């Protein structure tokens, strides 16, 4: 579906008609067979419900409103002998599916089939179509990943109790479709890639692991300096695993009423279980260690013990909750905290090769006259965050001079800004 004029508009309308006819005829097709734009056109998924009420209807009013096509295009569609028109409701429908499908292919609709699982379902196996329905469906954005679906699920859960509503206020919930990070944009170490793959395999074989009593899995601790990608990877795993991410900063959970802190922690873990499968990401995990060594308040100690107890009881296999803790200060974590995690994943400052790879990914869509190998050699000690900030500053340097192309002078400006920032942070 496009906003093109002429044949593009005709093909867009015909795609809707074909989609509606094929979907209405096949009860085994569901909401994840509909492209997001098609869902929008048919009003599917409103309120977060995955239910699709048949029949799907194509009206001229909706065509003009959603596609913005002129009346002449609608007239051209009605002129086709295989298109029927009902005056009541101004509805369009196909009189001959096979004839309409043939017209669609001859007029250039082949490329659209690769983006529309419903069409792929119908056209699969035809001589001129080298596509598999399952492949097209697999790359179609899932409805369960949308903000609408997750918000509806959260509303149902928190509506059940005041405690869950209080827990909701302490966390940031992001649907997979909302997360800006993805694994393709990140540069990971071999160890990080191994862990991601392992989690994916465990998700696929959860029932098998349950049958064999393998529950001690899915509690990860990310350790490394600031800016090395701990949060980025935790968030990027959301669209990769098709699970919402619940972000918690422990320092924010601490209530001014210390007796409530233990309850807050308990409620957050309970909410995660009710929203499973999900990722529970606990940032600033070193807050636990700082509290254990520096705070003599009994209520706070009980809160920390409550946190550790909940971590003990969480299981990706049993509960569907992938727990990720992150800390910049692993050395201050005591044994009680360390032994709660199944996997400890290190996030080191990037070496020269990684720095070059990060720069190349950041600049993938930017016009740039840069020697990334040279820049990587000059940025020893830079984190991934530092490198991204350097490129951002370089881009702003170019834009302020009316250019869209980054040159060596701009890179120097970016380097200078990052170095200044790091000096300020270090207290110099």
pLDDT in tens, 122-133: 999 887 888 999
Average pLDDT estimate for 111-135: 93
pLDDT of 256 higher than 70: no
Ordered by start, the domain boundaries in the chain are: 7-141, 145-346, 352-426
pLDDT at 295: 52
Strand 83-86 versus strand 91-94 pairing type: antiparallel
- Classified as helix, coil or strand, 52 is coil
**How far apart are alpha carbons 331 and 333 in whole angstroms?**
6
pLDDT of 109 higher than 70: yes
pLDDT at 3: 41
Average pLDDT estimate for 71-97: 90
Strand 172-174 versus strand 245-249 pairing type: antiparallel
* Residues pairing with 84 in the sheet: 93
pLDDT at 172: 95
User: E strands of 194-294, at which residues?
Assistant: 219-223, 245-249, 278-283
pLDDT of 1 higher than 50: no
Contact between 11 and 112 (Cβ < 8 Å): yes
Angle between helix 352-362 and 384-400 (nearest 10)? 40
**How far apart are alpha carbons 44 and 203 in whole angstroms?**
28
**How far apart are alpha carbons 328 and 251 in whole angstroms?**
14
Sign of CA dihedral 24, 27, 30, 35: negative
- Classified as helix, coil or strand, 174 is strand
Strand 343-346 versus strand 219-223 pairing type: parallel
Q: Given pLDDT bands bounded at 50, 70 and 90, which one contains residue 262?
A: confident
pLDDT at 258: 60
Range 352-426 has CATH code 1.10.8.60: yes
**98-102, 135-139, 214-218, 401-405: which has the minimum mean pLDDT?**
214-218
Q: Evaluate the omega torsion of the peptide bond into residue 55 and state whether it is cis, within 30 degrees of 0.
A: yes
pLDDT at 297: 61
pLDDT at 2: 40
Q: Looking at the whole model, is its pTM more than 0.85?
A: yes
User: 145-346 — its CATH code?
Assistant: 3.40.50.300
């Amino acid at each position: 579906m496009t906003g093109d004029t002429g044949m593009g508009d005709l093909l867009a309308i015909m795609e809707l008609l074909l989609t509606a006819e094929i979907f209405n005829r096949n009860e085994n097709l569901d909401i994840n067979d509909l492209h997001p734009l098609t869902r929008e056109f048919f009003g599917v998924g409103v309120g977060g419900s995955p239910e699709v009420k048949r029949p799907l209807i194509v009206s001229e009013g909706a065509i003009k409103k959603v596609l913005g096509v002129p009346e002449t295009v609608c007239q051209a569609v009605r002129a086709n002998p295989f298109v029927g028109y009902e005056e009541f409701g101004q509805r369009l429908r196909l009189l001959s599916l096979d004839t309409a499908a043939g017209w669609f292919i001859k007029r250039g609709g082949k490329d659209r089939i690769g983006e529309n699982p419903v069409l792929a379902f119908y056209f699969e196996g035809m001589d001129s179509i080298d596509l598999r329905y399952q492949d097209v469906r697999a790359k179609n954005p899932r409805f369960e990943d949308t903000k609408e679906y997750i918000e509806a699920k959260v509303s149902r859960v928190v509506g059940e109790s005041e405690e869950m509503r209080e827990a909701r206020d302490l966390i940031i919930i992001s649907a997979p479709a909302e997360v800006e990070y993805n694994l393709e944009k990140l540069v990971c170490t071999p160890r990080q890639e191994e862990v991601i793959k392992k989690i994916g395999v465990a998700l696929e074989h959860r029932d098998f692991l349950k049958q064999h009593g393998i529950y001690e899995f899915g509690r990860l601790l990310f350790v490394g300096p600031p800016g090395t990608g701990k949060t980025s990877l935790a968030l990027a795993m959301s669209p990769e695993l098709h699970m919402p991410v619940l972000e918690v900063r422990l320092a924010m959970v601490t209530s001014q009423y210390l007796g409530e802190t233990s309850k807050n922690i308990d409620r957050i873990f309970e909410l995660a279980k009710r929203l499973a499968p999900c990722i529970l990401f606990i940032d600033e995990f070193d807050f636990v260690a700082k509290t254990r060594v520096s705070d003599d308040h009994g209520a706070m100690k009980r809160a920390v013990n409550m946190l550790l107890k909940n971590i003990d009881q969480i299981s990706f296999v049993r509960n569907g909750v992938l727990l990720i803790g992150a800390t910049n200060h692993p050395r201050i974590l005591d044994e009680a905290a360390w032994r709660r995690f199944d996997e400890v994943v290190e996030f080191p400052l990037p070496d020269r090769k990684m720095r070059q790879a990060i720069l190349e990914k950041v600049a993938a869509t930017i016009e740039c006259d840069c020697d990334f190998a040279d820049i990587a050699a000059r940025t020893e000690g830079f984190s991934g965050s530092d490198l991204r900030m350097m490129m951002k500053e370089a881009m702003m340097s170019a834009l302020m001079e009316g250019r869209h192309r980054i040159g060596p002078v701009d890179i120097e400006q970016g380097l200078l800004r990052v170095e200044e920032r790091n000096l300020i942070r270090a207290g110099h």
